[in-house]
Structure 1
Amino acid sequence: MVSPSPVVCVTWCGSIFAGSAAASYARWVTRTLRNSALGITAALIGWFILVELVSGILQGYYVPLFSDIVIHLGIHDSDVNWFEAAQLLLSSIVVPVLAKIGDMFGHKKVLLIATVLTAGATWWVAFAGTFESFLIAWALQGFYVVWLPLEIALVFERGRRQARGTSATRRAAGLLIVGLQAGAIIGALAAGRIFAATGENLTVTLMIPAIAVTAVFFVILFGVPESEPLPDRRLDAWGFVILTLGLLLVTTALTFLRMPDLPSWLTWVLLPLGIAVLVVFVRFELSQDDPAIDVRVFRRPEMWPIQTTAFLLGISVLGAQAPLSTFVGTDPAVGYGLGLDATERSNVIGAYLVFVILGAIIFSVTSRSLPPRVLLIVGAALLGVGYALFLPFHDTLPQVIVNMAVAGVGSGALLAALPAAAAAAAPRGQTGVASALTNTTKTIGGTFASAVFGVVLAAGVGAVASDTAASLGGYMAVWSICAGGGLLAAVLLFFVPKVAFADTETEELEAAAGESQIV
C-alpha cells in the first residue's frame, strides 16, 4: 500500500476544513449573538461569510476547467491569458468607483447591483459559445471583486454605532477571508467532480457557480441591513473619468508587457502616459470639495503604509502563484524543479490556500488581544521570510511546503488585515472607497509582478539546454522580489502610529448619542 504524500494529506485535511468552515463559523456567530453586544454585527458577518464562500468558488471553480473551456471555444491555450487580463482591467477600474458610490448612497444598494451584474455575467459564461462572447462575460464577472470592500464598509458602519467599529471590522475581516479561501478550495475540488458527474457537459457544469451567485443576491437582499450614508454628497464624475483613464492605461500597459506577441513599444508608451494621467488626477482631486477619492487621506501616516503594503502584497499573492506552479512542475533533469504532475501541482496550491486560511484565522483570533499594527508587521515579515526561505531551500517538496506555510500564514493575515485597517484609517463616509483601494493597489501590484516575472523567467528559457543556472536564476529573482516586497512592507508599517486602528473616542460618542436617541 502506497502512503499518501504530505501535500495530499495537507490538502485533504484542508478540504475537510474548508467544507466545514461555514458551519463552524456559523456556530461561532451564534455564540457571539448570545454573549456579545455586537449581535447585529455578528449576524451580518454570518451572512457575509456565505457571500465570500461564493466569491471564493468563483475564483477557484474555473481553473481546473480551463483546458476543457479552451476546447469548447476552439481557441489556443495562450488565449486564456486574455481572460485574466480582461477581468483584472475591469475590476481595477470599477471597484473604487462602485465603492465610492456605496459611500454616497448606501453600500447595500451597490452590493446588490454588483451581485446582479455578476450573476448575469456568470450565466452568460455558462452559455457563451464563442471566444469573444466568453471574454466579455468573463470580464463582466469581475464585478464580484467589489463585494469584500462593501462588506467591510457595512460591518464597520454597524460596529461604529456600538463604539466597536474598528475592532469588529478586524475580526470580521479575518472570518471573511476564511470564507473566501475556503470557497476557493471548495470550488477547485468540486469543478472536476461535477464535470465528470454531468458526463462532461461543460454548460451544465458552468451553471453551478451561476446558481450560487443568484442565491447570494437573496442572501444580501433579505439578510443585510443598509448603511447610513452622509447627506449632501455629490458625485465627482470628472474625477472618476480621469481615474478610470489612468488605471486603464497603467493596467493595460502592464498586461501587454507579459504578452510577447504584442509590440513592446505599446507598454513603454502607455505606462508613462497612464502615470501622467494619475498625476493629473491627484492635482484635480486636491481642488475638489467632495472629491472622488480624497487623496489627502492617503497622506496620513496610518493610510499610506497600508496602501503601499497592499501593492507589495499583490506581487506575491497574485503574481507569484504561476511561477510556483511551473517551478514545482519542472522536470528535475534540467537541474531544478520537483517534477510534479498536474494533480500534484494542484495539491501544492491547495496546501498554500490552507495556510492562507490559517493566517486569516490567527489574525481574527489574535486581533482581540494584540495591537493591529503589530499584527500587520508580523504578517508582512512572515510573507518576506517565507519567500526568502526559497532561496536556499527549494530542492525537496517538504522544503517547498515549509516555505509556503510561512508565506501563506503571513499572506492570510495581511489579506484579512489590510481592508479593515484602511476602513479604520478613513474618515466617516469614505470607508468603502478606502478599503476598495487596497484591492485596486493589490491588483496593480499583481499585474506588475505578473508582467515582470514573465519577462524574468522568459529570459532564462533559452539557456536551459546549456546552463540551467540562468533559468533557476529567474526563479531566484522572483523569490527575491517577493521576499523584498514583504520585508519592505514590514519596515514601512513601522511608520504607522502605535495607536492606529483602535476603537476611537469618536465612535464611543456617536454610539452613546445613538443610544440616547433610541431612549
Structure 2
Amino acid sequence: MSVVRGRAGAITFALVGYLFLVELVSGILQGFYVPLIPDLVEHLGIRDADFNWFEAAQLLLSAIVVPFLAKLGDMYGHKKILLVSTALTAAATWALAFTGDFTTFLIAWALQGFYVVWLPLEVALIFDRGRATGTAASQTRRAAGYLVVALEAGAILGALGGGRIFVALGGDVQTTLMVPAIAVTLVFFAIAFGVPESTPIPGRRLDFVGFVVLTLGLLLITSGLTFLRINGPGAWWVYLLMAAGVLVFVPWGRFELRQKDPAIDLRVLRQPSMWPIQLTAGLVGISILGAQAPLSTFAGTDPENGFGLGLDASEISYIIGAYLVSMIIGALIFPALSRWTSPRIALIVATFFVAVGYLLFLPNHTTVVGVFINMAIAGLGSGALVGALPAAAAAAAPRGQTGVATGLTNTTKTIGGSFASAVFAIVLTAGAASAISETASSLTGYLTVFAICGGAAVVAAVLLFLVPKLAFADVDVDEYAGYVDEPES
C-alpha cells in the first residue's frame, strides 16, 4: 500500500507491518490446535464430543467481549486495548500449556478467545490514524486486505506446523503448547514498541448499564444456539433462552436511544451505509464460520453412501489449504476491485462469489475437482469480505465510534456462525439415519447446508444494493461531524 508521509496519523508500512505480525499470530492460533485435537483429547482424558465445549465457550466469549473492548478502544485508544487483549490471550495460551484437567483447560481456551477483537481494533486504529489524510477509507481497505493475508497465512502455518512440531518434540503436549504461547508473547512486544496509538475523543463516558444488558442479551442468544447444537431440537428450553435474549433488546434499545454516549449508538447503526454491512457480516458468518466442519466431513464421507469424496485427513487438508489460498487472493483483489468500480459494487461482487460457490455444490459435488472449484470461488468472496466488512463499517462510522462499528461486524458474524453450527448439526444429524456408514449423514442434509450458505449470501448481496452508491469512499473527515452528538464532559 502507499505510504502517506509528512502528516500526523499517517498510515505507514511500519504500522501495517507490525499489525501484519499480529494477524499472523492470530491465524496461527486458529490453525495450530486443529491437528492436535485427538492428542489433546487423550491428554485431558475426555471424549471427542467433549471438545465441542471448547469451541462453544470461545464463541460465547467472543460475542460478549468484542463490543465492550471495541468501545474501550474508542474511548482510551485502540492500541491500549489491543495490548490488554493480547496480554489476556498470552496468559490464557500459557495456561493451556500448564493445565491437564478439563475445567481449567476449558476456562483457558475460552479466555484465549480475546484474540478475536484484534482485527476489529486494528482496522479501527488504521482508519483513525489515517482519518486526517482524506484517504483513510481506501487505505484501510488495502491494509485490511494485507491483514487478512496474514491471518490466512498464519492459519496455514499453524495447521501445517502444529502436528509437525508435536512429532518433532516427541509427542510432548506441554512443550508443544508452549509454541503458540511464545508467539503471542512476542507479538505483545511488537505492538508495544511498534504500533502507534490512535487519537480518542476526550470526555467519553462508559455506558455500563447498556453493556451489561447487551451482554445479557448476547449471552442468552449465543448460549441458546450452543445448547441447541449440543442437546438437539428436542430441548424446548433452548428456544426460551433465545427468545428471552431477543426480548432483552427491546428495553435495551429504548434505553440506548436516551443515552448521549450509548454502548451502541442505534442512530448510527440504522444509517443506510451501516445496517446492511452488519447484517451482511451475520449472513456470511453462516458460511465463513459454520460451513467448514460440514465441508470437511462431506469430503471425508465414504462414497459407498452414494455421495462424498472418500478423502483421508491429509487429502482433506489440501482442499482446505486451497480454500485458504483463495481467501488470500480474494483479500488482495478486493482493494483493486473497489478502485476500478466502487467499494459498494466490490462488496456486492464478493458476496455473490460466496453465494455462487456454495450454490454450485447443489449440482457439482461428485468429484474432487468440482468441490475444489466450488470452494475456490467461495473462498475468493469470503477472503475479500473478512477484511472488507470491518473496513466498510469503519468508513461508515463517525469519529469516536470506529472501534464499536468494526467490532459489531465480528459480533454479528459470530452470531451467524453460532446459528449455522446449531442448525447444521441438527440437519446433518437428522439425515444420519438414512446413511449406510454409522458416522455419515445424508446427501440431502449436506445439500441443505450448502443451500443455506448460498441463500444467506444471496440475501446479503441484495441488502448491499440498498447501500448508498458512494458509501465507503474517501471523504473529508469533517463530513462525519453531524452523525453523532458530542459526548458529555
- Cα distance change on mapping 1:280 and 1:509 into 2, 3 Å: closer
Task: Give the structure 1 partner of residue 105 of structure 2.
Answer: 134
State the SS of the aligned residue for 1:495.
Answer: coil
Q: Check conservation: 1:456, 1:477, Cα contact below 8 A.
A: yes
State the SS of the aligned residue for 1:312.
Answer: helix
Task: Give the structure 1 partner of residue 83 of structure 2.
Answer: 112
Task: Give the structure 2 partner of residue 431 of structure 1.
Answer: 402
Q: Deviations over 1:345-402 (max 9, x none)?
A: 1221111111111110111333333310011000000100111100000000000000
- Cα distance change on mapping 1:486 and 1:261 into 2, 3 Å: closer
Q: Check conservation: 1:389, 1:403, Cα contact below 8 A.
A: yes
Which residue among 279, 284, 293 is the counterpart of 1:308?
279
- Cα distance change on mapping 1:50 and 1:329 into 2, 3 Å: same
Q: Deviations over 1:62-114 (max 9, x none)?
A: 00000000000000000010000000000110000000011011111111100
In the alignment, residue 253 of structure 1 is paired with which amino acid?
G
CA displacement at 1:41 relative to structure 2:
3.0
Q: Check conservation: 1:41, 1:168, Cα contact below 8 A.
A: no
Q: Check conservation: 1:388, 1:480, Cα contact below 8 A.
A: yes
Task: Give the structure 1 partner of residue 349 of structure 2.
Answer: 378
Ranges in structure 1 where 5+ consecutive residues have no aligned partner: 1-28, 511-519
State the SS of the aligned residue for 2:12.
Answer: helix
Structure 1 segment 139-288 matched on structure 2, within 5 A:
139-260=110-231, 264-288=235-259
- Cα distance change on mapping 1:40 and 1:445 into 2, 3 Å: closer
Task: Give the structure 2 partner of residue 515 of structure 1.
Answer: none
Q: Check conservation: 1:162, 1:508, Cα contact below 8 A.
A: no
Structure-1-length-normalised TM-score: 0.89
Task: Give the structure 2 partner of residue 99 of structure 1.
Answer: 70
Which residue among 35, 48, 53 is the counterpart of 1:64?
35
Q: Distance in 2 between matches of 1:399 and 1:378?
A: 22
Task: Give the structure 2 partner of residue 4 of structure 1.
Answer: none
Q: Check conservation: 1:249, 1:274, Cα contact below 8 A.
A: yes
CA displacement at 1:282 relative to structure 2:
1.3
In the alignment, residue 167 of structure 1 is paired with which amino acid?
S
CA displacement at 1:506 relative to structure 2:
3.0
Q: Deviations over 1:256-278 (max 9, x none)?
A: 01113797122111010010112
Q: Which moved more, 1:252-261 or 1:495-504?
A: 252-261
1:459 aligns with 2:430: yes
In the alignment, residue 363 of structure 2 is paired with which amino acid?
P
Q: Distance in 2 between matches of 1:231 and 1:455?
A: 49
Task: Give the structure 1 partner of residue 452 of structure 2.
Answer: 481
Q: Distance in 2 between matches of 1:261 and 1:502?
A: 45
Q: Distance in 2 between matches of 1:388 and 1:483?
A: 5
Q: Deviations over 1:452-493 (max 9, x none)?
A: 011111111111249x99811111111111110111111110
How large is the RMSD of aligned CA atoms in angstroms?
Answer: 2.0
Q: Distance in 1 between matches of 2:294 and 2:41?
A: 21
Q: Distance in 1 between matches of 2:402 and 2:5?
A: 28
Ranges in structure 2 where 5+ consecutive residues have no aligned partner: 482-489
- Cα distance change on mapping 1:195 and 1:153 into 2, 3 Å: same
Which residue among 452, 459, 466 is the counterpart of 1:495?
466
Q: Which moved more, 1:252-261 or 1:377-386?
A: 252-261
- Cα distance change on mapping 1:405 and 1:507 into 2, 3 Å: farther
State the SS of the aligned residue for 2:390.
Answer: helix
Q: Distance in 2 between matches of 1:412 and 1:36?
A: 32
In the alignment, residue 244 of structure 2 is paired with which amino acid?
L
Q: Deviations over 1:220-262 (max 9, x none)?
A: 0011111111111100000000000000000000000111379
Which residue among 366, 369, 372 is the counterpart of 2:337?
366
CA displacement at 1:279 relative to structure 2:
2.1
Q: Check conservation: 1:314, 1:443, Cα contact below 8 A.
A: yes
CA displacement at 1:505 relative to structure 2:
2.6
- Cα distance change on mapping 1:508 and 1:463 into 2, 3 Å: closer
Q: Distance in 1 between matches of 2:133 and 2:181?
A: 36
Q: Distance in 1 between matches of 2:158 and 2:116?
A: 17
Task: Give the structure 2 partner of residue 400 of structure 1.
Answer: 371
- Cα distance change on mapping 1:331 and 1:39 into 2, 3 Å: same
State the SS of the aligned residue for 1:258.
Answer: helix
1:443 aligns with 2:414: yes
Q: Check conservation: 2:129, 2:199, Cα contact below 8 A.
A: no
Structure-2-length-normalised TM-score: 0.95
Q: Deviations over 1:127-183 (max 9, x none)?
A: 111000100000000001111111011100111121111111111111111100000
Q: Distance in 2 between matches of 1:247 and 1:450?
A: 16
CA displacement at 1:503 relative to structure 2:
1.3
- Cα distance change on mapping 1:268 and 1:509 into 2, 3 Å: closer
CA displacement at 1:410 relative to structure 2:
0.7
In the alignment, residue 142 of structure 2 is paired with which amino acid?
R
Q: Which moved more, 1:160-169 or 1:172-181?
A: 160-169
Q: Distance in 1 between matches of 2:317 and 2:359?
A: 23
Task: Give the structure 1 partner of residue 484 of structure 2.
Answer: none
Task: Give the structure 2 partner of residue 516 of structure 1.
Answer: none
In the alignment, residue 322 of structure 2 is paired with which amino acid?
A
Q: Check conservation: 2:301, 2:440, Cα contact below 8 A.
A: no
Q: Distance in 2 between matches of 1:301 and 1:83?
A: 37
Q: Check conservation: 1:160, 1:507, Cα contact below 8 A.
A: no
Task: Give the structure 1 partner of residue 361 of structure 2.
Answer: 390
CA displacement at 1:508 relative to structure 2:
8.9
Q: Distance in 1 between matches of 2:291 and 2:6?
A: 40
CA displacement at 1:36 relative to structure 2:
9.8
Task: Give the structure 2 partner of residue 10 of structure 1.
Answer: none
Q: Deviations over 1:436-459 (max 9, x none)?
A: 000000000000001001111111
In the alignment, residue 279 of structure 1 is paired with which amino acid?
V
Q: Which moved more, 1:33-42 or 1:210-219?
A: 33-42
- Cα distance change on mapping 1:186 and 1:134 into 2, 3 Å: same
- Cα distance change on mapping 1:34 and 1:492 into 2, 3 Å: closer
Task: Give the structure 1 partner of residue 293 of structure 2.
Answer: 322
Aligned residue-pair number: 479
In the alignment, residue 123 of structure 1 is paired with which amino acid?
W
